[in-house]
Amino acid sequence: MADSGWSDSFCAELTVRLVAVLAEARSAATLAHAVAETADAAEAVSTGREMACAAGCSHCCVLNVAVLLPEALRIADWLQEKLPPDELLALQKILEGHRTWGRWMDDEERIARHVTCPMLDGAGCCIIYPVRPLACRGVTSLDSERCKDAHAPAINDEVPLVPTDLLRRAAYDDGFMALAQALQFHGIDHRSIELGTGVLAFLVAPGCRELLLGGTRLPAELWRF
């Protein structure tokens, strides 16, 4: 794994780049550009490294996922562009149900009840994969079977350890931090929010978009609902 000096340098340099990106016209496109730039920077560090994860693999998609608000906006915009109206409405109902109970569970409870991510389709595939969160991109298993066992409802007190790519995780964690710092520099709400809750807010409450782009903090009720 890379040392802390590498991590600090990567985060600092990426923060400078993202501050420059966000200096462009304040728009959803600019925020999406900053998120994409963050993912690209972290992926450049991780390209070519071993992983057991593959398309359709959703073993870890029972864990809570936090996103920065621009990530949630980017995903909401992507869904509105890609999904037919009836599918989008169906997804909103799923997200509403998840918001009222699933979002409050910790990881252990979600695993025990097998509460999967609301962004999975009936076949267990991620419907937002091209714009998936930074947190999801940074989690990489090196052993699919051990990952499956670790995220299955426990039948004993032993939790299998999953070998993971720690450098990839560090790169995406640092990217997340760099993006948050760049947002804060420009006076943009830099708080994180649970994935489903954040995406739903931008889908059903258009005012959230204007608040974020205008540099106003989003209502605290979104985090307390």
pLDDT digits (tens, 9 = 90+) for 137-173: 988 876 677 767 766 766 556 666 777 788 889 999 9
> Is residue 220 in some structural domain?
no
Give the total number of structural domains in the chain: 1
Ranked by mean pLDDT, which of 77-81, 108-112, 165-169 comes out on top?
77-81
Half-sphere exposure of 158 (CA within 13 A, CB side): 5
Asked, for residue 153, whether it belongs to a domain, the answer is: yes
Is 49:168 a contact under the CB 8 Å cutoff?
yes
Residue 127 lies in a domain: yes
pLDDT of residue 142: 66
| DSSP 8-state code for residue 129 | G
- For residue 103, pLDDT beyond 50: yes
Q: Determine the average pLDDT of the residues in 109-134.
A: 88
Let me know if residue 75 belongs to a domain: yes
Domain contains 224: no
Determine how many CB atoms are found less than 10 A away from the CB of residue 33. 17
Is the confidence at residue 52, as pLDDT, over 80? no
Length, in residues, of the chain: 225
> What domain range is 193 assigned to?
4-214
Question: Lowest-confidence range among 122-126, 194-198, 213-217?
Answer: 122-126
Q: In degrees, to the nearest 5, what angle opens at C-alpha 80 toward C-alphas 182 and 206?
A: 65
pLDDT of 62: 80
pLDDT band at residue 48 under the 50/70/90 scheme: confident
Question: How large is the average pLDDT for residues 179-184?
Answer: 98
Q: Output phi, psi for 214, to 5 deg.
A: -85, 0
In a domain, 113, yes or no: yes
Q: What is the mean pLDDT of the chain?
A: 88
Is 219 within the bounds of a domain? no
Q: Where are the beta strands (DSSP E) in the chain?
A: 66-68, 192-194
Give the end-to-end CA distance of the chain in Å, rounded to a whole number. 39
What is the percent of the chain where pLDDT is above 90?
59
How would residue 1 be classed by pLDDT, with cut points 50, 70 and 90? very low
Mean local confidence (pLDDT), 77-100:
94
State how far the Cα of 174 lies from the Cα of 177, in Å rounded to an integer: 5
Is the residue at 222 inside a domain? no
User: Which of 68 and 2 is assigned the larger pLDDT?
Assistant: 68
